[in-house]
Amino acid sequence: MLGYSEAELSNDIDVWLSYFHPEDRQAVLEMTDAYVNGERADWAIEHRVFHKDGSIRWLMARGTAIQDQEETFLRLIGTTTDITELKLTEQALRRSNAMLKVQQDAAIDGILITDENQKIVSYNQRFYHIWRIPENIISNTYDDYQLRQTVLDQLKEPENFLKKIDYLNQHPEMISQDEILCKDGRIFDRYSAAIKSFEGDNFGRIWYFRDITEIKQAEAALRQNEQKFLQLTENIRDVFFIMAPDCSQVFYISPAYEVIWGRSCVSLYESPKSWIEAIHPDDQLNLLPALKALLKPEEQSLEYRIVQLTGEIRWVLTRTFPIFDDMGRVHRIAGIVRDITELKQIEAELKQYQDQLEALVIERTKELNAINQQLQQELRQREQTEATLRESERRWRTLMDDVRLLVVGLDTQMTITYANPFLTEVTGYSQAELVGKNWLDVFSPSQSGQAPHQSDFLVKSFRVHHQEALLTKVGEIREIAWNCTLLRSANGDIIGFLSIGEDITERALIERMKDEFISVVSHEFRTPLTAIHGAVDLISDGLVDLQSDRARQLLEIASEGTERLVYLVDNILDLERLESGKVELVKRSCDIGELMLRAVDLMQFSAEHSNVELLTFPISLNLQIDGDLILQVLTNLLSNAIKFSSPGSTVWLNAELRGAESLKSEQGSSLSSYLSACPSHTVYVLLSIKDQGRGIPFDKIETIFERFQQVDVSDSRQKGGTGLGLAICRNIVQQHGGHIWVESMLGAGSCFYVLLPASE
Ligand code: ADP
């Protein structure tokens, strides 16, 4: 057993023990001690020993003690059996069992093993989890009855269950698989097969239980989905298909295919490419690239026409979706085909409508363009009109601003809405003082408030032309000739007046003067003309002998009258020429003394004739004057002085040089205003013509310088003269920048002064 010969083995316990495996030695000794001490009934142990060849052998040692009568141990006698093979087999079996156990425990199925007598041999963890075996039954190792009962209680059909077990036990060769329904709805898959040795011995059965509830539910859901899908695809009007990417096989085609293609689904299954043949020849060209694109991993869509067997054409829209396999390759093509014939028709109709609309829009645009152009033209015209209006308005305004006429705008309440600059100039009021004010309040305060301001009254009392006296700001009265226009709004209502007025104050004065002049002149003319007329009539009628004294007297009268007329006309013409500025002064350097002497010379005869002494004290001084005209002034004044002097009296003609300052003491009423207008350093020659005649009443001192003004109307008749002499004198003196005035006392005589500015 150990490979040693008997001679090689010494009869020594220690040597014997040395053959023992070190791990087992202690166990053998302890077991022996326990036996000897009566602690165990037998002496038996399995232990390992070393074989001579070094291998380990398992031995089974059994012994028994030989005791004497006092039960003292004398010998141990026993046998040793080599159980190495048995031990190895047992070890292998244990390993296999352990592995089986692990397998069982790791299995996802519940596993139950029963022996040939239907007794439970084992079950795994999963088994009692599935069958919800209570802990107490598990620990009560293999209590068959209770375990079976626990299972049966959960079943819907326990009898069938048991029947099947019996049947299978009777037919050990059978492999079975069935489903078990639980009361709570769970479903188990049961698989059972016989356990047989290689030799064919029957050791019982193995039962697998798998909870397939979820799988079943998923299956049911899947079936339901499939059902729904089928219902959907079978009922929708769209075609649904699944086919191979190269169109070599159709896996599914929904019944709508038959409607759209007008061909049976079966025909497509049989001939998977037959759907392509039905496509309109014109669209076939587009199809090839589309079919290639099917292999791309993205959604595709394509529109094309189907020609049905009947010839009817249908428009479709196909959309395809690739389905990928595990490797990510396209291995199916799913797609939906929609009949878009109606849509296309609507589209076509829409297109038609759109075309019509576009045509309409174009037409309308044309019209609008035309209108626009017209409007543009109108706008241009309007702009032009506006520009013209503005220009016209500007002209009017300029005219209004510059015109020497009064222009005023009034509303129906007589409120001033406009007043031009000339109106403000004439009236002395500013624009601000006029605009917004009532016309009557400003210019005719006496009338304001009395005249009703209602527009109807104004319209009734409206006169195109009228004259009106206007009170200026300084209280002066100006005579205005108005020309009025009614202003009307677009609908004809009167909205006010525009009046244009001419300041005719001066003209009216002149008119008056002209009237007076004519009456005076005609009067002045009539006297000599009557005399001439009478004389000439008498002579021409032959009533008077031409050679007689009477005739000579008459002729003299006629001649005097004629002279007087000539004189009158000369004077009038002189004055007219002077006043109208037709006489141009010929200023030359003249010695005033010489002029005085000449004047006295000229008047000497007349003075002597009237028995008046003429005295002069000339000063020699050169003046820039028109000598003839100044001489005319002097002779005129001397003539008057002589005329109005009584015989025996004296007339003086004097001259002196005076400064402006010294003149201020002089009395002449108009002198001071004359002097105030002259430079104060001017030096003057003051000529004086003094008489001792009848004098001039105070109130006539100014007026005698006016035309045809005489102190006494009889003067012209008695003294001769026209009443124009002084007017002529004044004009001449004024034209020389000088001044003429008179100082007089009635009955004591007069003194006429002529003041002429002397040259520097
Ligand atoms: P006439 O030709 O009438 O003299 P004037 O213009 O020379 O015209 O004189 C106007 C009037 O003035 C005279 O008619 C007279 O009444 C008055 N007058 C002029 N000079 C004198 C004078 N030296 N003495 C008194 N009265 C005079």
Contact in structure between 28 and 13 (CB atoms under 8 Å): no
* Residue 187 in tokens: 């479903």
Q: What is the mean pLDDT of residues 160-183?
A: 90
Burial label for 440, CB within 10 Å (0-12, 13-18, 19+), is middle
* Ligand 1 contacts CB of residue 280 (under 6 A): no
pLDDT of res. 430: 93
Which atom of ligand 1 sits closest to the CA of residue 636?
7
Q: How far apart are CA 211 and CA 599, in angstroms?
A: 171
* Residue 62 in tokens: 């059994």
The tokens 């291995």 sit on which residue? 331
Q: What is the mean pLDDT of residues 640-653?
A: 94
* Ligand 1 contacts CB of residue 644 (under 6 A): yes
| Confidence band, pLDDT 50/70/90 cuts, at residue 75 | confident
* Ligand 1 contacts CB of residue 645 (under 6 A): no
Of the listed ranges 327-336, 419-428, 569-578, 681-690, the least confidently predicted one is 569-578
DSSP 415: B
Does residue 157 surpass a pLDDT of 90? yes
To test the ligand 1 pocket, which listed residue (523, 567, 632, 644) has its Cβ within 8 A of the most ligand atoms?
A: 644
Cα 720 to ligand 1 centroid, rounded to whole Å: 10
Among 558, 571, 575, which Cα is nearest to 639's? 571
* Most confident of the ranges 4-13, 664-673, 686-695: 686-695
Cα 698 to ligand 1 centroid, rounded to whole Å: 14
Q: How far apart are CA 516 and CA 183, in angstroms?
A: 154
* Residue 74 in tokens: 């004398």
Of the listed ranges 397-406, 718-727, 732-741, the least confidently predicted one is 718-727
Does residue 640 surpass a pLDDT of 90? yes
pLDDT of res. 334: 92
Closest CA to ligand 1's atom 14: 710
pLDDT of res. 458: 61
Cα 596 to ligand 1 centroid, rounded to whole Å: 20
* Ligand 1 contacts CB of residue 700 (under 6 A): no
pLDDT tens column, 701-725? 989 998 878 887 776 666 667 788 9
Contact in structure between 26 and 32 (CB atoms under 8 Å): no
| Confidence band, pLDDT 50/70/90 cuts, at residue 453 | very low
How many CB atoms within 10 Å of residue 35? 20
pLDDT of res. 106: 84
Q: What is the mean pLDDT of residues 261-271?
A: 92
Q: What is the mean pLDDT of residues 474-488?
A: 89
pLDDT tens column, 99-145? 888 888 888 889 998 888 888 888 888 888 899 888 888 777 667 88
Alpha helices in 313-438 (DSSP H): 341-402, 421-427, 431-434
Which atom of ligand 1 sits closest to the CA of residue 691?
23
* Cα→Cα distances 173→17, 113, 185, Å: 54, 16, 31
Q: What is the mean pLDDT of residues 499-510?
A: 88
Among 241, 266, 251, 247, which Cα is nearest to 319's? 241
Closest CA to ligand 1's atom 4: 721
Phi, psi of 242, deg, nearest 5: -130, 130
* Ligand 1 contacts CB of residue 499 (under 6 A): no
Q: What structural domains does the chain harbor?
A: 13-88 (3.30.450.20), 107-217 (3.30.450.20), 236-339 (3.30.450.20), 403-503 (3.30.450.20), 509-572 (1.10.287.130), 584-759 (3.30.565.10)
Contact in structure between 407 and 420 (CB atoms under 8 Å): yes
| Confidence band, pLDDT 50/70/90 cuts, at residue 447 | low
Among 457, 409, 460, 456, which Cα is nearest to 437's? 409
pLDDT of res. 729: 94
* Ligand 1 contacts CB of residue 110 (under 6 A): no
* Residue 319 in tokens: 């959309």
* Ligand 1 contacts CB of residue 725 (under 6 A): yes
Cα 641 to ligand 1 centroid, rounded to whole Å: 8
* Ligand 1 contacts CB of residue 694 (under 6 A): yes
**pLDDT, averaged across the chain:** 87
pLDDT of res. 459: 64
pLDDT of res. 17: 82
* Ligand 1 contacts CB of residue 740 (under 6 A): no
Percent of the chain with pLDDT over 70: 96
| Confidence band, pLDDT 50/70/90 cuts, at residue 377 | very high
* Residue 286 in tokens: 């587009």
* Ligand 1 contacts CB of residue 612 (under 6 A): no
Q: Spell out the residues 6+ positions from residue 639 whose beta carbon is closer than 8 angstroms to its own.
A: 603, 606, 725
Q: Spell out the residues 6+ positions from residue 646 whose beta carbon is closer than 8 angstroms to its own.
A: 692, 693, 694
Which atom of ligand 1 sits closest to the CA of residue 721?
2
Q: How far apart are CA 687 and CA 658, in angstroms?
A: 10
pLDDT of res. 456: 55
pLDDT of res. 317: 92
pLDDT of res. 635: 94
| Confidence band, pLDDT 50/70/90 cuts, at residue 646 | very high
Closest CA to ligand 1's atom 20: 640
Which atom of ligand 1 sits closest to the CA of residue 723?
8
Give pTM, 2 decimals: 0.43
Maximum C-alpha span of the chain: 253
Which atom of ligand 1 sits closest to the CA of residue 715?
14
Beta bridge partners of 755: 686, 739
Does residue 451 surpass a pLDDT of 60? no
Cα 672 to ligand 1 centroid, rounded to whole Å: 24
* Ligand 1 contacts CB of residue 750 (under 6 A): yes
Which atom of ligand 1 sits closest to the CA of residue 722?
2
